[in-house]
Structures are given as C-alpha cells and as structure tokens.
Amino acid sequence: MSQTNSPSTGCLYGLKRVCHAWDVSRSTYYSRQKRCPETESSKHKKPGPKPAITDSELLDLVKQDIAASPFKGEGHRKVHARLKRQNRRVGRNRVLDVMKANNLLSPHRGIQAPQDPHDGTIITDEPNVMWCSDGTKILTANDGWVWVFSVEEHWNAECLGWNVCKVGDRFAALEPVTQAVKNVYGSVAKGIASGLKLRIDNGSQYTSDYFLKQITYLGIQDSFGLVKQPQTNGVAERFNRTLKEQILNGRIFRNIEEVREAVRQFVELYNTKWLLGKLGYQSPLEARRSYYKLKGAA
C-alpha cells in the first residue's frame, strides 16, 4: 500500500499513516491481506513444461486399458507398463494418482459384497421368540475329540438344553433342542413351539433334512445366521466362549464322562449365578423370574 498512489491526490502515503487514518492496526491489515483469495496468476504452478497428456486424457486411457485387459485385479504398475508399451509417456506415480483419485485401483474394482441385511440386533424383548443353538469340540485324553451342543434363549442367554457326545451328527445336534422344548413347553408334541425361531449356523448338522424336518414338526422356524458373520449367532457363540473360559481351557479331561459332568455343573451354575450386563447384572434365571413376576402383576 505504501507504494500505491492515492487516486484523489496522486501522492504516496505510508502504511502507518493510512492505518492511523482508518483507525486500523497494521497487524489487522496484514492479517486480512493473508485471507484475501489468490488470483490465478499468483497461484503456485508446477515447474517445468506441461505434460503432453492431460489428466482427463490419461483417465480415459486408463479406463480403456482396464476395460480391454482380459485379467482381473491388476494394479497401476501393469496399467503403466501397458501405456508405456503404447508409447504413452506418463509417470508411474501419475498413473497411480489418477487411478486413486477416481477409485480405479484394484481393491475398488473387485466384486463388492452386497449390503449387509443384518441390523446388528439379536436380543429379543421377551422369552420364546428366538432361541439359538451351536456346537463346539473338546479334546479328551482317552476319548479324543467330543462334541458339546447347547441351546440358549436369546432374551436372557439362559442355557435351555445341552448334549455332550462323541459323534457330532444331526441327531446329536437335535438332542438339546428337544430337551429345551420339553423343559419350556412341557412336551414335544406337534406344533407345541409354534411361533418360535431357532437361530443356527450353516453347519451340516443344522442344514440336514432330518434336523430341519424335526424342528418344523415342533413348530419351530429355522433362522440361519449370515455366512461369514458369526455375530449373527452371537448368543450361542458367547455361551461357548464362556463355557471354554470357565471350565474347559487349561484343563485336561480324561474321557467324555468327565466333560459331561463338568458341563452339567457349569450349566446349573451359569443359569443361577452368572451375571449379565444386558439383564441389569442379573442371572438368566433371576431375569426370568422377574419378567414373569412383572407380567403377573400387570
């Protein structure tokens, strides 16, 4: 400003004098100067000559190369190599920048997974809406691997039935379901558990015709968890984890009978004493008694 002539007098005035006349500090003037938008001529430009191929032209060449390639999942290096073979002189990093800016790198061009239909909620608001079942294996010294199948209530995570066996087939997987239905509904008559869903995974025991026909006879509707998403059967998975942490891990079992007795004791202790945060730090049986007490009072 000190080098600019006044349009009215044609004279030069120093910055200090002008700021005093405006009643503005010089620091305010310099601060506002920094916030002024840059003109096109003052913007920083890359040194050197302009590239022969513009970014938009390079983008078109990259898209054409990807479309013409018979292979999948190729990255920017191979794209650059093919452009070089066509006498398209561009830098490899520039090809990388253009592909990255336009989501053309190989991870973005792969087959995208469909939208997850699971909303993240598996806990029910009342009992006998959805149960779950799953199996796990335990190694014993004399009997080798043995299976532990169980059924849990989604509402309060209560273990309603269990089965320890040597052969983990469809018959073994159905046993705890039959126990649970008999314990809750009083019998295993046709349609006795109508309206109940059973969350299961895609294991061969649960996808067998025998298993599915038997639960259908009881009135139970199958509800398969999503493939590669064990959290959709999270109640059963969490019970198995608790079971292993509390009585199985770090312990050597001689035979299947020792495993069966350990699971029996744990299930009884778990249902009566294990506190769950989602239940207000009540045990599964305490939550069940409280629910029916409030329901009866209502």
Q: Are residues 201 and 77 in the same domain?
A: no
Neighbours of 76 (CB within 10 A): 20
Residue 259: pLDDT above 60?
A: yes
Q: Are residues 149 and 99 in the same domain?
A: no
Q: Are residues 84 and 191 in the same domain?
A: no
Question: For 69-82, what is the mean pLDDT?
Answer: 89
**Across 85-99, 157-171, 223-237, least confident range:** 223-237
CATH number for position 159 = 3.30.420.10
Q: Are residues 8 and 150 in the same domain?
A: no
6 CB-near residues (< 8 Å, 6+ apart):
12, 13
Q: Are residues 79 and 184 in the same domain?
A: no
Q: Are residues 212 and 282 in the same domain?
A: yes
Question: For 148-169, what is the mean pLDDT?
Answer: 96
Q: What is the pLDDT of residue 196?
A: 96
Q: Are residues 103 and 139 in the same domain?
A: no
Question: For 241-249, what is the mean pLDDT?
Answer: 91
Residue 205: pLDDT above 50?
A: yes
Q: What is the pLDDT of residue 40?
A: 47
Q: Is 20 inside a domain boundary?
A: yes
In this structure, the dihedral spanned by the alpha carbons of residues 52, 56, 57 and 63, taken in order and rounded to 10 degrees, is 140
Please report the beta strands in the chain, taking only residues with DSSP state E, as ranges in sequence order: 130-140, 144-153, 159-165, 197-200, 221-224
Q: Are residues 4 and 82 in the same domain?
A: no
Q: What is the pLDDT of residue 31?
A: 78
Residue 232: pLDDT above 60?
A: yes
Q: What is the pLDDT of residue 252?
A: 93
Sign of CA dihedral 245, 251, 252, 256: negative
Residue labelled with tokens 């190599």: 81
**Across 41-45, 80-84, 128-132, 261-265, least confident range:** 41-45
Q: Is 48 inside a domain boundary?
A: no
Q: Are residues 285 and 199 in the same domain?
A: yes
Number of domains making up the chain: 3
Q: Is 118 inside a domain boundary?
A: no
Which pTM does this prediction carry? Answer: 0.62
Q: Is 192 inside a domain boundary?
A: yes
Q: Own/partner pairs for 66-69, CB < 8 Å, 24+ apart?
A: 66/104, 66/109
Question: What single string gives the DSSP state of each residue in 231-279?
Answer: GGGHHHHHHHHHHIIIIITT--B-SHHHHHHHHHHHHHHHHHH--BGGG
Tell me what percent of the residues of the chain surpass a pLDDT of 70.
87
Q: How many residues does the chain have?
A: 298
Q: What angle do CA 33, 36, 39 make, to 5 degrees?
A: 120
Q: Is 44 inside a domain boundary?
A: no
Segment 29-75, tens digit of pLDDT: 777 776 655 554 445 566 677 888 999 999 999 999 999 988 888 88
**Across 10-14, 16-20, 90-94, 199-203, least confident range:** 10-14
Helices (H), the chain: 15-22, 26-35, 55-68, 76-85, 92-101, 106-109, 170-185, 204-207, 209-217, 234-243, 256-273, 284-297
Q: Is 242 inside a domain boundary?
A: yes
Segment 103-146, tens digit of pLDDT: 888 876 665 555 555 556 778 899 999 999 999 999 999 999 99
Q: Are residues 237 and 93 in the same domain?
A: no
Q: Are residues 279 and 183 in the same domain?
A: yes
**Can you tell me whether residue 144 is helix, strand or coil?**
strand
Tell me the average pLDDT of the chain. Answer: 87
Q: Are residues 178 and 286 in the same domain?
A: yes
Q: Is 276 inside a domain boundary?
A: yes
Who has greater pLDDT, 108 or 203?
A: 203
Measure the CA–CA gap between 177 and 129, rounded to whole angstroms: 14
Residue 76: pLDDT above 80?
A: yes
> Amino acid identity of 103?
N
Tokens of 265: 């004791």
In which domain, by residue range, is 261 found? 130-297
Question: For 233-261, what is the mean pLDDT?
Answer: 93
**Can you tell me whether residue 276 is helix, strand or coil?**
strand
Measure the CA–CA gap between 180 and 239, rounded to whole angstroms: 16
Q: Is 172 inside a domain boundary?
A: yes
Residue 278: pLDDT above 70?
A: yes
Residue 223: pLDDT above 70?
A: yes
Going by pLDDT thresholds of 50, 70 and 90, the confidence category of residue 296 is: confident
Question: For 148-167, what is the mean pLDDT?
Answer: 97
